[in-house]
Chain A
Amino acid sequence: MFGWTGVLLRVNLTNGSIKKEALNKRDADLYLGGRGLGTKIFTDEVDPNVEPFSPENKLIFMTGPLAGTMATCPGRYEVITKAPLTGTIGASNSGGHFGPELKFAGYDGIIFEGKAEKPVYLYINDDEVTLKSAEHLWGKTVFETTDELLIETSEDARVACIGPAGENLVRFAGVMNDKHRAAGRSGLGAVMGSKNLKAVVARGTKSLQVAAPEEFLQACLDARGKMKANPVTGAGLAAYGTEILVNILNQSGALPTKNWEESSFEHANETGGETLADKYLVRNKGCFGCSIGCGRVTRIPDGKFKSSGEGPEYEAGWSLGADCGVKDLAAICKASFICNEMGFDPITMGSTIACAMEMYDKGILTREELGRDLAFGDAEAIVEFTKMTALREGFGDKMAEGSFRMASMYGHPELSMSVKKQEMPAYDGRGLQGMGLQYATTNRGGCHVRGYMTAPEILGIPQKLDPLVTTDKAMWVKIFQDLTAVVDSVGICLFTTFAIGLPEISSMLRTAVGWDCSDEEILKIGERIWNLEKLFNLKAGFTKADDTLPDRLLKEQVKKGPAKGKVAELGVMLPEYYALRGWDAEGVPTEEKLKELSI
Chain B
Amino acid sequence: MSARTPPGTLAAAALIARKDLAIEFRTRSAFLSAIVFSLLAIAIFYFAWDATAVSSVDLAPGVLWVIFTFSGILGLHRSFGVEEADRAIDALLVSPVDREAVFLGKALANLAFVLGVQALAIPAVALFYNLPLTRVLAPLIGIAVLAAIGLVAVGTLFSSMAANTRLAELLLPVLALPFFVPIVLPAAQTTARLLAGRPISEAMGWLRILIAFDIVFVVACALAFPFTLED
Is B truly associated with A? no
Which residues of B line the A interface, CB within 8 A?
Answer: none
Which residues of A line the B interface, CB within 8 A?
Answer: none
